[in-house]
Structure 1
Amino acid sequence: MDPIAEALDLYEAGNINEAVNHLMENAKEISEQEQFSVAELLQQWGFLEEARRLFEELYRTYPIDHQIKFQLADIYIDLEMDEEALSLIEEIEPDDPEYVDALMIFADIYQSQGLNEVAEQKLIQAKELQPENPLIDFGLGELAFFNGEFQKAIDCYERIEPHADQFPMVNILERLAECHATIGNWEQALVYYQDLDLKEPDQLFKYGYTAFQMSRYDVSIKAWNDLIDLDSDYTSVYPYLAQAYEEEGLLEAANDILKQGLKKDEYNLELYITLARNEKKQGHIEHTKKYLKEAIALDPSHEKAIEELYSIYEQNDNWDDALKLVEELKKFEPYPEILDWRSAQVYNELEEFDKARNSYEKAYLTYHQEADFLKEYGFFLVEEGKMEKAVELLNEYLKQNPEDQETIEFLERTQG
């Protein structure tokens, strides 16, 4: 049995190190053509140093063999030995039949260095020489994709779509779906996703999200449930799936999926906040407060949860609990600046006017351009008898809301 076949048997049996050692030990006993195959195999398995040593030996024997240069350059790129890769490929002259392949490797090297414009220039130069070569369009498409130029990537991928089977490492249809979705072409993205055999959680998530944008909540629900069946620890999907159920009017199903998510990730803030929102829609205020408090306990600076809980206290004139909330959270440094404004409101309602004044003054540093704050603080100062400052703030407020006739009339009476 030849060494390559024996190594393959060892590799398939899970004896990977033995397979590699067997190849290296027998490398000098086999033909040079077989050495090339061994080096390729090692490269495919990820043993780049071992593959590099074999290709370097072959290169010393055959210094003008471009295929050996290309393989070795690929390994150098993966090993971040860009200078060595460049020096190899620079040996290939523009009049060489394989110069286009050299240009594509140049593009890989420059892209790995973050020199995307130079990489693109090399690929464009290659395309001028071979305009129908799908490998060049693929290279241009990948470069544009990873550079965030999604429309440009779409143009390239559409040209090579008929040759998609030539690129087994990348699913061209999935790339097209993702590009269209990223730039908001949801309908076209959905068409591509529906043509894919989706078996990976990330694929199913993106498919469900695309369908959600098209208000195809039934499709989203199926895709995201399939995702959970594949990977129930993919906890970021639970709030989205709950929202899809909610859009379909299935609030109980939404709550069930959120509670299922919390069993997988009890520290997921978004799950608590979404669950609280759903409970509030069903009129379950105590449950709403419970989940918001749990979210705030996990992150005392989470402004969204704080504001939701505060608004419940405010709507129910529950100022004692509101006071307890703001004073407890202001013990944490740094706390969200909104708490200065909210504490001013609480103190004002509880007639602790000195504390309210101090809180308004502090909040003014942050919210001096916020219309609602300017009006509220302005009328507080009216009650305090500080008319000059109050008029100044209310005039600032009216610059943003010139249609507020009630405030205009108040100022006219005051100034008159």
Structure 2
Amino acid sequence: MTEMMQALEQGDLALIDQLLELFLTKELPEDIYTLAEIFMQYGYMKEADRVLEHLQFLMPEEAQLKIDRANVLMELGDEDGALDLLLEVDETAQEYPQALLVLADYYQMQGLFEVAEIRINEALAILPEEPLLHFAKAELLFETGRFLEAARLYEELYEQHREFAGVNLVERLAEVYRAGAAYELALDYYSKALEDEVKPDVLFGAAYSAFQSQKYEMAIQQLEELKELDPDYFSAYLLLAQSYAMLEDNPKAYTAIQEGLKRDEYDKSLYLFAGKMALKNSLPEEAEQHLREAIALDPEYMEAVLALIAIFGQQERHEDVIELFETLQQNDFEWSALYPFAAAAYENLELYDRAYEFYRLAYNDFKEDATFLEKYVYFLVEEGKRLEAKEVLEQLLRIQPGEPAWQELLETLEFE
């Protein structure tokens, strides 16, 4: 065994293979099984499978060997072989609940979550007090978005265990409550976890939960600490900027997002928020540049496109609106949300036929938008399209009944 351990530590596969042949023929089954466990521990799954296959040949009815080998085969990507072995475990075997748990893992890996839960419940019916089964079910519920059910099971485990199966239950409870939008509860558990050890992910989770709980000063404090601990924790910068923005400290928000851009120049959401903060700080040129960077990273980034078009509209840069819109069209990006902007820009440039085309296209999606309908009505009236103006005006009155100005205009159109 000493030689084998040295070969393992050196990663000498040829020597391992040579020693293994001798080991399997000379050693007792219990020592061979110990070697299989060592192989699994060191990540030598092919060698572990070879050992377990040999033991299966010697003891074909041994349920534990089938379960262990199934685990190894799943690690090796042979799910079908693993399934065959697990289904061979007899229901009367003491190890049957363990086989059910591994089966649940198999089905969970396949995305068959309902079948996985059935298997865990079968095991729980046999061993209702087994903590490992409760933990497995909690993990499955967490993965499938049933956060409150998962939290209940984690809470029960936490009463007896601070850590389980290598998982810190305080951190896990914080994560599950955060995922379920129970941010105050999540923050309580994150605070407990931070008392034990300050880790970047825990700090960020705490800051996010504080932000969602409208505790912006706390979020800022934790994010600043996170930056000191790990300056390359990119997600911290956007949340930090958002926290300052919620406190209406726009200069600090803009500074924070600029720091983030220095760390990560390929995150489009950072450029978008930088654009918004630049506007808040009365820096329209910088805002435009940030938004153009966001669109360069993702030409289909609708929020950035709309923000940039809004800037052009405010500055009455109608040609720029059209240029951006037509560039998107050339790239086969047809967004009805942009049609009202295009229609207004063409109208301002006195390209009335094009304006009419896009007003009509926009009408289907903006029938409930009073601001759009008002512009469309006046455009139609100016263009002498009285019947169409009357139709749009009637729609406007349906969503804003009793508006005197609209009623008066409708009566005028009907009279004409």
TM-score, L = length of structure 2: 0.87
Does the 8 Å contact 1:157/1:172 carry over to 2?
Answer: yes
Q: For the aligned residues, what is the CA RMSD?
A: 2.9
Q: Which residue pairs with 2:188 in the alignment?
A: 191
The amino acid of 2:6's aligned partner reads: E
What's the secondary structure of 1:6's corresponding residue? helix
Moved more, 306-315 or 129-138: 306-315
> What are the ranges of 5 or more consecutive residues in structure 2 without an aligned counterpart?
none
Distance between the aligned counterparts of 1:39 and 1:409, measured in 2? 89
1:113 aligns with 2:107: no
Does the 8 Å contact 2:66/2:89 carry over to 1?
Answer: no
Deviation, 1:146, is 1.6
Does the 8 Å contact 2:240/2:256 carry over to 1?
Answer: yes
Distance between the aligned counterparts of 1:240 and 1:232, measured in 2? 14
Cα deviations by residue, 1:325-377 (Å, 9 ceiling, x for unpaired): 44555444325333332121122223332332233233335445544333321
Does the 8 Å contact 2:7/2:13 carry over to 1?
Answer: no
Identity, % of aligned positions: 34
Q: Which residue pairs with 2:70 in the alignment?
A: 73
Distance between the aligned counterparts of 2:243 and 2:325, measured in 1? 34
> What are the ranges of 5 or more consecutive residues in structure 1 without an aligned counterpart?
none
Deviation, 1:188, is 0.8
Does the 8 Å contact 1:3/1:26 carry over to 2?
Answer: no
Cα deviations by residue, 1:232-259 (Å, 9 ceiling, x for unpaired): 4443432222111222444333222222
**Pairwise mapping of residues 1-400 of structure 1 onto structure 2 (< 5 A)?**
2-3=2-3, 5-7=5-7, 10=9, 15=11, 24=20, 27-28=23-24, 29-164=26-161, 167-197=164-194, 201-364=200-363, 366-368=365-367, 370-400=369-399
What's the secondary structure of 1:195's corresponding residue? helix
Does the C-alpha gap of structure 1 residues 114 and 302 become closer, same or farther in structure 2, counting only changes over 3 Å?
closer
Moved more, 197-206 or 45-54: 197-206
Moved more, 262-271 or 364-373: 364-373
Deviation, 1:212, is 0.9
Cα deviations by residue, 1:251-292 (Å, 9 ceiling, x for unpaired): 333222222222233232222221121122122233223322
Does the C-alpha gap of structure 1 residues 281 and 403 become closer, same or farther in structure 2, counting only changes over 3 Å?
farther
The amino acid of 2:379's aligned partner reads: F
Does the 8 Å contact 1:340/1:360 carry over to 2?
Answer: yes
TM-score, L = length of structure 1: 0.87
Does the 8 Å contact 1:279/1:285 carry over to 2?
Answer: yes
Moved more, 330-339 or 181-190: 330-339
Does the 8 Å contact 1:20/1:42 carry over to 2?
Answer: no
Deviation, 1:380, is 0.8
Does the 8 Å contact 1:7/1:22 carry over to 2?
Answer: no
